[in-house]
Amino acid sequence: MSRTTFFEVEILDSKTKTQLCFLDKVEPHSTINDIKSLFHKSYPKWYPARQALKLDPKGKALRDDEILQDLPVGTTATMYFRDLGPQLGWTAVFLAEYIGPLLIYLLFYFRLPYIYTHKYDFTTSPYPVVSLACACHSFHYVKRLVETIFVHRFSHGTMPVRVIVRNCVYYWGFAAWLAYYINHPLYTPPSYGEKQINLALVIFVLCEAGNFSIHLCLNNLKAEGTKCRKFPHPTKNPFTWLFFFVSCPNYTYEVGAWVSFSIMTQCVPVALFTLVGFIQMTIWAKGKHKTYIREFKDYPHLRMPILPFIL
């Protein structure tokens, strides 16, 4: 009968290197999340989601599902703790980020008092494109809210509150900026009139449908309760065929939707918001693309991070 070799885990403060906790007789099959739970018993204010444990003070935080005995440590493991700060669940995060732009845009569309001059209070724009833009903008964020509640599954349970505040300032601020100009009494419609607007509307609808299809595909990729890692493949849905060429078509469609919205409104703030969003989504896509290549030896070589054959 084999004897179980227990581990000892010493947890130090990553900044001061002072010992915070010493865990004795830790099971070798314990996960990092198990260790965080044990640490939480000694320090109730630092719940597991708020903790980052590392093997090196300046190293990468260990994943919650990593097994203690699989780590490059002896039977006495030293880990370094960093406080991530107050956390909020991802569902609440996205609800906060998306409800703001939806409501803020509507405030400008209905021209509530003190936004523009008094003679335009509660008036509507004479241009149909303004109402169409409001409908498209509202649809986009309503779709995001629905996906947050019913579609998305989040690999990480929480986000630091300080990051949430930054993200809300970004989304809410841009929404107010572009809404101010699109709904302004002096706003002028696009140069090429209905042709430009209708073309943009078709692209917008297709991109929104594509984005939703990709989110459904990613949601179905990993069945609940399984730990088998897979990378996404095209399905019978034509919108998912973009997986033949890019790793993150959800970002491709997202950028396409905002490009079409820029064309529809011919508004500089929308174009700037699209550009900033494209840069950020490219960074995310490149990171995801590298992860796929690292984890899967049979990952398709033809795929690019976000733009087919280009980027």
* Per-residue confidence band for 224, with pLDDT thresholds at 50, 70 and 90: very low
Q: Tell me what pLDDT residue 76 has.
A: 86
Contact 43, 22 (CB under 8 A): no
123-171 pLDDT per residue, tens: 878 899 999 999 999 999 999 999 988 886 655 566 677 778 888 999 9
Sheet holding 19-26, edge to edge: 19-26, 7-13, 76-83, 51-54
**53-72 pLDDT, tens digit each:** 999 988 888 888 888 888 88
Question: Pick the residue with more confidence: 226 or 203?
Answer: 203
Please state, in angstroms and rounded to a whole number, the distance separating the CA atoms of residues 181 and 178. Answer: 5
Q: What is the average pLDDT score of the chain?
A: 89
Question: Phi and psi dihedrals of 127, rounded to 5?
Answer: -95, 125
Average pLDDT over residues 19-47: 89
CA-to-CA separations, 304 to 212, 219, 278, 300, in angstroms, rounded: 20, 21, 15, 9
Q: What is the CATH number of domain 8-85?
A: 3.10.20.90
Q: Where are the domains of the chain?
A: 8-85, 88-295
